[in-house]
Amino acid sequence: MNRIAALFLSVLVALTLSAKSSKRMSGNPILPEFHADPEILFSQQTGRFYIYSTTDGAPGWGGYYFTAFSSPDLVSWQHEGIILDLATNQVPWATGNAWAPCIIEKRQGESWKYYFYYSGHDPKTNRKAIGVAMANNPTGPFTDLGFPIINQRPEGVNGGQQIDVDVFHDPVSGKDYLYWGNGYMAGAELKPNMTAIVENTLTVLTPNGGSLRDYAYREAPYVFFRNGLYYFLWSVDDTGSPNYHVAYGTSRSPLGPIEVAKDPVILIQRPEKGIFGPAHNSILQIPERDEWYIVYHRINAQYIDKASGPGFHRQVCIDKMFFNADGTIKPIEPTHEGVAPVKVKKAKK
């Protein structure tokens, strides 16, 4: 091979590698093994993205610890280890069923604080309850409050579980809110200490009506704010069903009432693509950009048969989310490709 040909080949290889690099995608699922109920956080302190989830794969949803994964760009994910273990004395009030966490980052002067909310099984009541643990870093170590902060249904609600918690900071009022509920949706303002709710603000928000084809509420409330509207997302049907999907409504207040969207279903199975049960989501806005992502779980297609335990063989995925000019959410196309790398700077000291 002469020098000109060799030079041409080296340039061609470099251009090919550059093109591959520029088109690098996360792929779906983005986390190894089985995880579900994902919560995503961009940390202003570290400049990294974090995912917290239900550790899946255990029969009867028997996972007992929470892990964290971090990423600089939403594409490359690093396992950060176990951050809270319900099978030890770290959480004195719970014995297992470590489910569906959420987290919020708060700046307090020159330091940062993280409040990690989750549900676990309380043997004293033989029910699920919601607790909170605190840390100074997004990967811990976390210290549990020592007792649950939500351990009973709202007055007038006769069924459902205290699980699937979501925490939301209202940029309008500066207040923080907690949402939760399987079988019902409840919300309440959090006290400034972030470890208790303001009791007289507790509100039952369950969207009325609907069917399993569209928006009948089951669980997993998630709230975010955009352009003057509060968006409420929730999951429909059973987590082990291929039909498990996401619906939404909006409100002018963080505690409702919720107006169900005209076309409420925004994420649903695509059997022709081998995608089943995509739901139980969290939402990520890239700071200071109108750029949005949905992080959700779906059933591993090899376990879709009921005898294989589809409800606890779930995997975490990510796709982009877009809005119409009127603020309605466009239907989300679940993919196997995932998303391209995203770069965000951490907050200045």
Cα–Cα distance, 89 to 91 (Å, whole number) = 5
Structure tokens at 202: 């507790």
Cα–Cα distance, 312 to 68 (Å, whole number) = 19
At 50, give phi and psi (nearest 5°).
Answer: -135, 145
Cα–Cα distance, 135 to 123 (Å, whole number) = 25
Structure tokens at 329: 């959410």
Q: Is 135 helix (H, G, I), strand (E, B) or coil?
A: strand
* Contact call for residues 283 and 230 (beta carbons, < 8 A): no
Cα–Cα distance, 263 to 124 (Å, whole number) = 43
Kindly list the catalytic residues: 37, 219
Cα–Cα distance, 160 to 153 (Å, whole number) = 8
